[in-house]
Structure 1
Amino acid sequence: MAYARTLPHRLDPDEAMTGLMARHILQGDFPVFFHGQAYMGSGEAYPAAALFFLFGASAKVLLVAPFILSLLFVVLVIRLAEALYGKTAAAWTGAYAAVPPAFLAAYGLSPRLGYIETLVLGSLLLLLAMKIREDARRGVRATGRYAAFGVVAGIAIWTNFLAAPFLAVSAVVVAASRFRSLLGAHGLILAGGVLVGGLPFWISNLQNDFWSFAVVGFGEGSLKRLAALRFAERIPYLLGFRHIATETWLGWPGTALAASALAVLVAWMAGAVGGVTQGGATRTNDRRSTALIAFLVAVSLGAYVLNRFGYTGSPRYYFGFYVVVVLVFGAGAAALWNRSRAAGALIGGAVLFGNLFGLVLGYRALSDRESWEAKYPSVKPLIEFLEGVGVTHAYANHHISVRTTFASREKIIAAEPIYEPYAKYRRLVDLAENAAFVFQGRSDHLGTPEVFEENIKLMGGDYRKDVRGPYTIFHGFRRLDRGGTLRPAAWGASSSNPKSDPRLAFDRNTSSRWTSGRPRREGDWFEIDLGTRLPVQRIVLLPGGNRWDAPTGLRVMVSADGRKWATIAEAVSLLPGLHWYGNHPRRDLSGRVEVFAGGALARFVRLAHLGADPKWDWSIGEVFIERSGPPDRSPGRREAVWLGALAEEAGEKGNLPESLRWVEKAIAADSEFEPGHRHGALLEGVK
């Protein structure tokens, strides 16, 4: 399974992101969490960075850290099983952990941060808690164990909230062992360990209003019931009865595995009464151990059913259960072995054989280039094409962008158009002289290539379009000429909604707006009277109140006399927020719509809505119009551009109050500076 994951084309986006984080560490950027999140620690990326430094960055080297952690998990659960149930149970537990269900092997070996670490840290917490309990019975102070427990607990909190059940159960064991000592020095030592172990976590949360805990929440009653059902549905998959890729039943091996696993479970439950280990003196310990495991199961079930992620049914959220699974198997198989070695070997061996069968199928699934290519096509032809045309920056969906950046060793920086997890990449692509747009079918934020092309034509610009394998690539953008500023002092306006003042659409205040007064539909229109005939070059609309208030489609018509109309631009499927940024397009959350009019001579400009949406009204916060001619180079405009750049820079650094101050100064310098109004609306929450 480990070998299958190292094949060159096998990295999925999350794994590639781990690799990029390791590269960033070597470049002096030290992440605390997985890029784009605030609740999954970056710990695994640091040993990966060290390995990259020694052996170079590659998919194979990236796998080494989770592979070592997987081996460590096997060792720890052997020790844990021995402490709970004895050496026979430890041997069976080790065998099951070494030949596990396919999902445990595949996901545990995946370098995606936090999952195999959860099992390692959870096992270590339980083991330390039991050692502390043992020390308490023997009357040994063992201060070092409290410190170690605290440090591991802190690392677990930082690493993944999936460790919460282990933290809760082990904390109860420690508290029950020596509650009074926790009120004194031992408690301070343990708390200090939690602080030290999770220091990056605590510092980051203090600096960011405890943002990690924003994901902590409880599902509603219906979601809780759904979560319980989803967990029940997932048990056969988690235990390896179903194929890891297709999720179909494994046929007779799956049935045999399920029956054998059930027998082991019954044997484990019986062991709580009859004893797993041999000898009456050990039965009390067996019952306590079984009670501990049952308590862990109950806490884990409660955590996953109650939290707001449990209803998704994603098997990764149940990953912590594998500690319970391996221990229950080890104890149950040991109980069978102690009663009848033949029965133990037959039933325990059947479970291991079923796991091995699932692992073989999993290996084949991971090694199948055709099925992998269908989901994550190789980015090699894309990289070769971009390098061939001299493009070093691109916008693309996450599953393309991360793999492209890692595979090219950051020679090509690709970023999500809007929700880029690593903000630095997005900024680098924004500022690039020549950025491409890459599609593989439909893009989450840019629609289909056909929709994107329709919007580029609406905005006015030249470009090249090429297809390489499954990828459609737009590049070589050239923005058509900008025009001079038209000021709205002499404008008049009318609209399809007589109850909304159309002049609010050009009062240069984005907090006011014209609105259609009803959900967007065909027939809504907004008309501007420029006061005199002028060559119109470009029209820009900013939505008012909500970015979703942008039109779904738009037809732009012009007239010299208000009676005879000519259509100069039209797009049925708009991509609000797509606009020119330097020499290439960019999309943001502003809801802005940009139309190239091409110097059409007009006094009247009519904007007619196309399409319908039952949820949102159509509104215009501000409309800007440029006339053909040289761009505005007045002192006020030059000052506004400079101040606008400062505002954007402050915003990129997260200093929103400072960014807003620069925006206000830019608009004061030139009220017709559209980027200032757009940026200000975003900062004020018009999103």
Structure 2
Amino acid sequence: MNPGEPPRRPKAWQTALGLAACVALYWAVRLWLISCPSLSQVDYDEAVTGLMALDIIDGKHHILFWGQPYMGTLEAYLAALLFKLFGPSTLMLRLALLVYGSAGVLALFALGRAAGGRRLGFWAACLWSLPPLFLSFQGVYVTGGHLEAVVAGALLLAGACRLAFDPPRREGLWALGLGVVGGLGLWSSLLILPLVAASVLGLGLARPRWLLGRGPWLAGLGLLVGVAPLLAWNAEHHWLTLVQVGGSQLGRTWSNAAMLLKSVWGPMLIGAWWDGRSVAGQMPLAAPAVVLLLVYLPALGLAVAALVRWARRAWKRQNPWRSPADLIILALWVLLFLHASSGHGHKAILRYATPMMIPLTVLAALWLVKVSQWRHLAGVGLMGGLLLFNLYTHHLYLERFAQTPHRPVEALLAVLEDEGVNFSYAHGRVALPLTFESQGRLLAADFFGARNLSHLRQVDAADQPAWVTHKRLAVPAPAMLDRALRRLGAWKSPLEVEEYVVWHDFDPAPTLVPLPSRDWRAHSEQEHAASVLDRNLGTAWPGDNQRPSRLLLDLGQARPVARLSLLPPFNWRGKPGMLYNLSVQGSLDGKTWQTLAGGKGSMAGLTWRGKRVKLAPVPALEFTFEPQTVRWLRLEVKPGNPSWPALKIAEVFVYEPAADSHSWPPRAQEQLRRGQRALAAWGQRPTAPFPAGHSAFARFWASQVDWPEVVGHLRRAACQAPEWEQPYRLLLEAARKSRRSPADLLDAAPCPPKQS
């Protein structure tokens, strides 16, 4: 090139070839990570995306991620397409995420080129393709929409830089397109919000006159088009997405920032891949420190220097934001501030920091380019060293999990198929992966229908659902459940397959009928012993968490007893799955006692009916045992977990063996059916957000039910059949789901409680 001659622009094919190489590197790194045995089968969040994709193939369309009002289903729809073309599999599910993540290569190139030229663009794209382990893991962990939203935010920021400093010929079309991208990102995940705020703020500050034209209107129209599914869903669900945005930590921004710097922002750059999990401890201590000191701290220094530069320009009454680099740095500060001051600012959760990788990656590349301009070999060496460090962290991750079993779920599914098990209860962390990985061979449901109530309904309708637990996840721990099944009286020898433990083909529960309680008497050293016999769920006998307590029941005469059911009061704060130390003893003379059932590890909520063992939503304690003829029953409660509420017993139901099941009065049965139908409205949208995650969800579900009608029918059923336990259980379930005070529920009932 002759002196004075302008530099030649690179040809389009050279740029395309370079970008293709970056995309190929992006795929190669993630496919290498996918080869790790730890990623050979889906996790529970990933299973939700896969199950939604399978539903989409079957014509059941979903707008939002099951159980969360702030994530969409773009990922599920692309996965459904891949499933349709190549068949459902864990690999196809992960490839759907890789397709979306690849767009980030183009976005980072565009941002880098706008900030400092073509070389900076390619270096930024390379750092996105072979990034810190955390970002690669987010690129293969199919959580439903976070990465897509972050990539959409990167494209939006790149478009804002273009509109602010290099306006295209068709600005209106650009604004419309960027609005659609932003809307789709908002539908996908609220993690895009900081990037949307930074893009709008930066564009408005850098080019204020743009706000006076038609651009904002077109961008707003595009935004409405892209976010339309989210808006439509919220219009029918009390705008729960907006509720989720709440929870400001503005007053704790600085303390949150210090915690995030130590537990999130720093670790995510040097080997962390999930909350509290990192490979940094497997490498020489100096390596992470060198990377932080030579790359990321200087990159942050550029952002600090920009603040000083902006202040000087503002002092001179000049526009502080004069280049795309200013907008990218502004985005970093906005992201840091919003993360620290948001409702998630006090949580050390790595994935919430994903949006920061957009401006931080560009700034790291900008710093390395500046070093290369000063000393070419030094800059190239630092760039190569950073890529090698990132590669090393990936290697350490694969090495750490090299001995992990490859798809242990396959062995379990094969055993369950041989045993003829098609339905199962399990915690959601176990149930969702089993359901997806089985591809229809097994339907496993969470105990309470978390994520999808329709799954629980199908399992509830099955004849003999199994129970599946996991040794490592321990939800519940197999040993804990084994002991609880023994206390219940329904124990079976379990199957052990890899880390899974399975109980199935339970024996049928004995046919029992309730004993009439009119002649019973209750005694205790504590007060309110008679409360357990008044058939009033508003009164209760309180146990004691500090010392042993006893409750004595006189049945009036010797009777064969085979089951006790202990219902809690309306206001008890215990939950299903909590364990209590309660033993049941019987006596004919009130002096000589024998243990009938119970002991350490009695699980609240565990029930046995027919060949079904279920964890019910009402945390009652139930004991079934070999029939024993007794007149006296003694319940002895010993102190247990001090963090759990002390046991309270509102009502006691005692059962004896019978040849046939008991028939209740037709009027009581009709009232119970009406109450059940009215209560069913609580779950009429089985894939809407489940109330366990946020109080706003519970308020929405409760708003679907006419609670006075529910309680009225159930109380009439209870009053017409006082020894029928089912109406009382449903009243307790209604009390918990309605989120109303016990007084409100009692006032809604036309039939007052009475002793039969």
- Give the TM-score taking structure 1 as reference length: 0.88
- 8 A Cα contact 2:205 2:321, kept in partner: no
> What whole-Å deviation, never above 9, does each CA across 1:490-540 have from its counterpart, x for those lacking one?
322222213x2x332232222222324xx4244312222222222223211
Q: CA deviation at 1:198?
A: 1.5
Q: CA RMSD of the aligned region, Å?
A: 3.3
Q: Which of 499, 510, 530 lines up with 1:470 in the alignment? A: 499
In 2 relative to 1, CA 87–272 (structure 1 residues): closer, same or farther, beyond 3 Å? Answer: farther
In 2 relative to 1, CA 257–178 (structure 1 residues): closer, same or farther, beyond 3 Å? Answer: closer
Deviates more, 1:250-259 or 1:617-626: 250-259
In 2 relative to 1, CA 543–634 (structure 1 residues): closer, same or farther, beyond 3 Å? Answer: closer
Q: Could you say which residue in structure 2 is the equivalent of 1:162?
A: 191
Q: CA deviation at 1:559?
A: 2.5
Q: Could you say which residue in structure 2 is the equivalent of 1:685?
A: 736
- 8 A Cα contact 2:520 2:553, kept in partner: yes
Q: Which of 60, 63, 69 lines up with 2:94 in the alignment? A: 63
In 2 relative to 1, CA 450–70 (structure 1 residues): closer, same or farther, beyond 3 Å? Answer: closer
Say yes or no: does 1:96 pair with 2:127: yes
Q: Which of 200, 220, 224 lines up with 1:171 in the alignment? A: 200
Say yes or no: does 1:663 pair with 2:698: no
Deviates more, 1:298-307 or 1:394-403: 394-403
Q: CA deviation at 1:205?
A: 2.2
Q: CA deviation at 1:624?
A: 1.4
Q: Which of 454, 463, 467 lines up with 1:424 in the alignment? A: 454
Say yes or no: does 1:610 pair with 2:641: no
- 8 A Cα contact 2:422 2:442, kept in partner: yes
Q: Could you say which residue in structure 2 is the equivalent of 1:2?
A: 30
Q: Could you say which residue in structure 2 is the equivalent of 1:530?
A: 555
- 8 A Cα contact 2:149 2:192, kept in partner: yes
The 5 A counterparts of 1:224-239 are 225-239=255-269
Say yes or no: does 1:194 pair with 2:192: no
Q: Could you say which residue in structure 2 is the equivalent of 1:403?
A: 433
Quote the Cα distance in structure 2 between the aligned partners of 1:534 and 1:210: 57
Q: What secondary structure sits across from 1:556 in the alignment?
A: strand
In 2 relative to 1, CA 207–512 (structure 1 residues): closer, same or farther, beyond 3 Å? Answer: farther
- 8 A Cα contact 1:219 1:308, kept in partner: yes
- 8 A Cα contact 1:242 1:254, kept in partner: no
In 2 relative to 1, CA 70–249 (structure 1 residues): closer, same or farther, beyond 3 Å? Answer: same
Say yes or no: does 1:46 pair with 2:77: yes
Quote the Cα distance in structure 1 between the aligned partners of 2:642 and 2:302: 57
Say yes or no: does 1:261 pair with 2:312: no
- 8 A Cα contact 1:227 1:312, kept in partner: no
- 8 A Cα contact 1:462 1:480, kept in partner: no
Q: Which of 533, 540, 559 lines up with 1:513 in the alignment? A: 540
- Give the TM-score taking structure 2 as reference length: 0.80
Q: Could you say which residue in structure 2 is the equivalent of 1:124?
A: 155
In 2 relative to 1, CA 604–685 (structure 1 residues): closer, same or farther, beyond 3 Å? Answer: same
Q: What secondary structure sits across from 1:527 in the alignment?
A: strand
Say yes or no: does 1:600 pair with 2:631: no
Q: What secondary structure sits across from 2:74 in the alignment?
A: coil
- Percentage identity across paired residues of the two chains: 25
Say yes or no: does 1:217 pair with 2:217: no
Q: Could you say which residue in structure 1 is the equivalent of 2:388?
A: 353
Q: Could you say which residue in structure 1 is the equivalent of 2:691?
A: none
In 2 relative to 1, CA 185–487 (structure 1 residues): closer, same or farther, beyond 3 Å? Answer: farther
In 2 relative to 1, CA 93–442 (structure 1 residues): closer, same or farther, beyond 3 Å? Answer: closer
- 8 A Cα contact 1:558 1:568, kept in partner: yes
Give 5+ residue unaligned stretches, structure 2: 1-28, 310-317, 685-700, 740-756
The 5 A counterparts of 1:230-379 are 230-240=260-270, 245-248=278-281, 250-251=283-284, 254=288, 256-262=290-296, 265=299, 268=302, 288-365=323-400, 368-370=401-403, 372-373=404-405, 378-379=408-409
Deviates more, 1:163-172 or 1:63-72: 63-72
Q: CA deviation at 1:81?
A: 1.8
**1:461 corresponds to which letter in structure 2?**
A
Quote the Cα distance in structure 2 between the aligned partners of 1:229 and 1:245: 17
Quote the Cα distance in structure 2 between the aligned partners of 1:222 and 1:187: 34
In 2 relative to 1, CA 45–88 (structure 1 residues): closer, same or farther, beyond 3 Å? Answer: same
Q: Could you say which residue in structure 2 is the equivalent of 1:114?
A: 145
Quote the Cα distance in structure 2 between the aligned partners of 1:435 and 1:91: 55
Quote the Cα distance in structure 1 between the aligned partners of 2:173 and 2:358: 25
Q: What secondary structure sits across from 1:478 in the alignment?
A: coil
Q: CA deviation at 1:386?
A: 0.9
Q: Could you say which residue in structure 1 is the equivalent of 2:64?
A: 33
**2:338 corresponds to which letter in structure 1?**
A
Quote the Cα distance in structure 1 between the aligned partners of 2:392 and 2:480: 47
Say yes or no: does 1:485 pair with 2:514: yes
Give 5+ residue unaligned stretches, structure 1: 276-282
Quote the Cα distance in structure 2 between the aligned partners of 1:444 and 1:212: 32
Q: Which of 399, 413, 421 lines up with 1:391 in the alignment? A: 421
- 8 A Cα contact 2:681 2:705, kept in partner: yes
- 8 A Cα contact 2:265 2:353, kept in partner: no
Q: What secondary structure sits across from 2:592 in the alignment?
A: coil
In 2 relative to 1, CA 484–149 (structure 1 residues): closer, same or farther, beyond 3 Å? Answer: same
Deviates more, 1:251-260 or 1:468-477: 251-260
In 2 relative to 1, CA 432–443 (structure 1 residues): closer, same or farther, beyond 3 Å? Answer: farther
Q: Could you say which residue in structure 2 is the equivalent of 1:144?
A: 173
- 8 A Cα contact 2:487 2:597, kept in partner: yes
> What whole-Å deviation, never above 9, does each CA across 1:308-358 have from its counterpart, x for those lacking one?
433332322211111012211232233233344333323333323333333
Q: What secondary structure sits across from 2:61 in the alignment?
A: coil
In 2 relative to 1, CA 462–295 (structure 1 residues): closer, same or farther, beyond 3 Å? Answer: closer
In 2 relative to 1, CA 120–357 (structure 1 residues): closer, same or farther, beyond 3 Å? Answer: same
Deviates more, 1:247-256 or 1:125-134: 247-256
Q: What secondary structure sits across from 2:280 in the alignment?
A: coil
Q: Could you say which residue in structure 1 is the equivalent of 2:49?
A: 18
Quote the Cα distance in structure 2 between the aligned partners of 1:662 and 1:224: 54
Q: Which of 542, 560, 565 lines up with 1:540 in the alignment? A: 565
Q: CA deviation at 1:679?
A: 1.8
> What whole-Å deviation, never above 9, does each CA across 1:13-50 have from its counterpart, x for those lacking one?
32233212211221233233322222222221111111
Q: CA deviation at 1:227?
A: 4.7
Q: Could you say which residue in structure 2 is the equivalent of 1:621?
A: 650
**2:74 corresponds to which letter in structure 1?**
G
Quote the Cα distance in structure 2 between the aligned partners of 1:60 and 1:258: 34
Q: CA deviation at 1:225?
A: 1.5
Quote the Cα distance in structure 1 between the aligned partners of 2:384 and 2:321: 23
Quote the Cα distance in structure 1 between the aligned partners of 2:221 and 2:45: 33
> What whole-Å deviation, never above 9, does each CA across 1:54-98 have from its counterpart, x for those lacking one?
110012211222212222101111112222322232122222222
> What whole-Å deviation, never above 9, does each CA across 1:436-479 have from its counterpart, x for those lacking one?
11222276553x33332333233333634222232221111123
- 8 A Cα contact 1:536 1:628, kept in partner: yes
**1:576 corresponds to which letter in structure 2?**
A
Quote the Cα distance in structure 1 between the aligned partners of 2:452 and 2:657: 39
